Amino acid sequence: MADNKQLDEFGLIAELLAPLADNKAAARLSDDAARVAVPDGLELVISTDMLVANVHFPPDADAALVANRMLACNISDLAAKGAQPYGCLLTLGVAGNWDSAFLQRFVATLADGLKTYDMQLWGGDTVRANEGFAGLAVHGLVPSGEMLTRSGAQDGDDVYVTGTIGDGFLDLADLGPAYAAPAPPIGFGQAARGLANAAIDVSDGLMADLDHICRASKGRINVEAEAIPLSEAGRAYGDLAALLCGGDDLQMAFTAPPAHADILGIEAEKHRIALTRIGRFSASDAHEAVLRAENGQEINVQKRGFRHF
């Protein structure tokens, strides 16, 4: 039998979440399913990302960090698809150390994030767990057929990234802001629809993520090492390979024809996004991203890093 503390916490969560679900689809969570209409001419972009204690955040992590990273990881997927956030389901595995103060702070942070991203809470599931976890299934909207994918890159496309690369990795150690509260380029992603040919969110590490575009679009990306946008901390860090492969940036990488350079610059400015051209995509039998020094020489990097707490 569950103890009373458990029942109280589940009641508290239901009570805290109901006001966030004040939309027609969720009807304040009065039912155990949401009813979602998709406007004519639009289709859904659907993705899900789960964060687990001891793997994606420390078991004693602050509730705001867990909520913000959960939101950002999921919104990042929508951003890179050019989708406008619509609604989400929340899955919460409530660990023993997630007391009511933790849950209140988690829900308050979630509420702020939903407002920031203009996303509805449609429902979810709360379960007990020895190890805490928190995830969303996010649903975005795009005009039918206009979702950005990994597979559309064209020979001669420029390759861009938003923001700076490596700060998620650098901020992991001390749970600094780029790790604890990332801000995926959700507005710019929508603006890039019709301008970008292929896109992906930078979550595994820039080089590994560009590899995905190369495989899906059947080509090679030459990445100019000196062009990679780094923060001051990144420039001071010295190990470029670690920054390029560390993951957790939650920025957006994409390819676009050179003719779109100016309009992309204007959109980036409008959305207050740093946008940097870092290389070129070429149709090729070698389906990979290659890092090159200024003299054109290949710089070897181990492309994918995993780590845990």
Q: Provide, rounded to whole angstroms, the least separation between the CB of residue 296 and a second copy.
A: 31
**Which residue, 6 or 100, has its beta carbon nearer to a second copy?**
6
d(CA 67, CA 138): 14
Alpha-carbon 3 to chain mean position: 37
Q: Provide, rounded to whole angstroms, the least separation between the CB of residue 99 and a second copy.
A: 19
> Structure tokens of 6?
């458990």
Q: Are 21 and 29 in contact (CB under 8 A)?
A: yes
**Which residue, 201 or 249, has its beta carbon nearer to a second copy?**
201
Quote the radius of gyration of the chain (alpha carbons, Å). 20
Q: Are 229 and 163 in contact (CB under 8 A)?
A: yes
Q: Are 150 and 204 in contact (CB under 8 A)?
A: no
**Which residue, 127 or 266, has its beta carbon nearer to a second copy?**
127
Q: Provide, rounded to whole angstroms, the least separation between the CB of residue 152 and a second copy.
A: 11
DSSP classification of residue 192: T
Q: Provide, rounded to whole angstroms, the least separation between the CB of residue 90 and a second copy.
A: 8
Q: Provide, rounded to whole angstroms, the least separation between the CB of residue 87 and a second copy.
A: 8
> Structure tokens of 164?
């700076």
**Which residue, 16 or 55, has its beta carbon nearer to a second copy?**
55
d(CA 190, CA 81): 8
Which residues contact a second copy (rule: CB under 8 A)?
1-2, 6-7, 25, 30-38, 40, 43-52, 54-56, 77-78, 81, 83, 89, 91, 93, 122-125, 127-131, 133, 135, 137, 139-140, 142, 144, 147, 149-151, 200-201, 216, 305-308
**Which residue, 97 or 235, has its beta carbon nearer to a second copy?**
97
